[in-house]
Chain A
Amino acid sequence: MAKIVIDDQTPELPDDEVGKYRDFSRIQNRFQQVSHGMRKKRLDKVRNRYWFLAVLVILLMLIFLLT
């Protein structure tokens, strides 16, 4: 739990300074990275699932052939 400090007054936020930090391209770039990562993760998941199934089928065929 964070330590709380109760102040008498809220200091003034320099309004003109806030504008300097408004940068939508930063959000957009991060969003693109995240959505690219999410897409890659989803593809990897599908790929892993196919690999698992393929190995399973090969194993079953080997067992079937050897018995």
Chain B
Amino acid sequence: MPEPTDEIHLIEAAKKNPQAFEALYNLYHHRIFRFVWIKVRNMETSADITSDVFMKALVNLKNYSHQGFPFSAWLFRLATNEVNLYFRKTGKEKHVTIHPEMKGEWDTYIETGESRQRLAEALENLPADDLKLVEWRFFDGFKFHEIAEMESLTEAAVKLKVYRILDVLKTQLIRRG
């Protein structure tokens, strides 16, 4: 991970000269590729989506202003939008895996294939913004402060939102179960 000051210098350099964006590209390519691939599970498609993410980042870089959050937060937000756009366009299945650190939270809901199916259906019915938060936290394993950075919110606000969504989800699952 680069020091925040180094990152700011790299961003400022890339704003003046697009060629300088290569340093940021090399720094984050693997993480963004992996983030996309976990959901898409296809190397070629992941490469295309990752390329779109960096392309959009470069085009919109002049509008980017550093507000104390890491540059990666902005990239992950762009990547999430691109992945969601891909699934909306193609209608393909989105693969998710409950993050190992989050398993405890979901143990009772993923015991069997049937209960896992119910959870998947409940997730599909969530509003897009709520689903995004649940995915970031429980499937991608982002920390609350990282989600707060991606959403430009406070950590407390994110925690509140996520646990409210979780309550709704659990109530739905209990009702269905």
Contact of A10 among B22, B26, B97, B119 (CB under 8 A): B97
Which residue of chain A has its CB nearest to the CB of B87?
Answer: A2
Q: Contacts A13-B38, A22-B29, A27-B55 known; A3 to B124 CB distance under 8 Å?
A: yes
| Chain B contact residues, majority secondary structure | helix
Distance in angstroms between the alpha carbons of A17 and B88 in the assembled complex: 27
In this assembly, does B37 line the interface, its C-beta being within 8 Å of a C-beta of chain A?
yes
Contacting residues of chain B (101-122) with chain A, CB-CB under 8 angstroms = 110, 116, 119-120
How many A-B pairs have beta carbons closer than 8 Å: the answer is: 87
Contact A7 B95 (CB under 8 A): yes
Least CB distance from B5 to A in Å reads 23
Which residue of chain B has its CB nearest to the CB of A25?
Answer: B22
Contacting residues of chain B (2-25) with chain A, CB-CB under 8 angstroms = 18-19, 21-22, 25
Contact A21 B43 (CB under 8 A): yes
Contact B55 A5 (CB under 8 A): no
B17-56 interface code vs A (CB 8 A; 1 in, 0 out): 0110110011001100110011001010011001100110
Q: How many residues of A are in contact with the other chain, CB < 8 A?
A: 25
Counting from the closest, the 9 A-B pairs by CB-CB distance are A2-B87, A21-B47, A10-B97, A2-B94, A4-B120, A24-B22, A7-B97, A3-B93, A6-B116
Identify the A interface with B (CB < 8 A). Answer: 1-11, 13, 15, 17-18, 21-22, 24, 26-28, 30-31, 34-35
Instruction: Known pairs A1-B124, A21-B33; list 8 more (Cβ under 8 Å).
Output: A2-B92, A2-B94, A3-B94, A7-B95, A8-B97, A18-B34, A27-B25, A34-B59
Identify the B interface with A (CB < 8 A). Answer: 18-19, 21-22, 25-26, 29-30, 33-34, 37-38, 41, 43, 46-47, 50-51, 54-55, 58-59, 84, 87-88, 91-98, 110, 116, 119-120, 123-125, 128
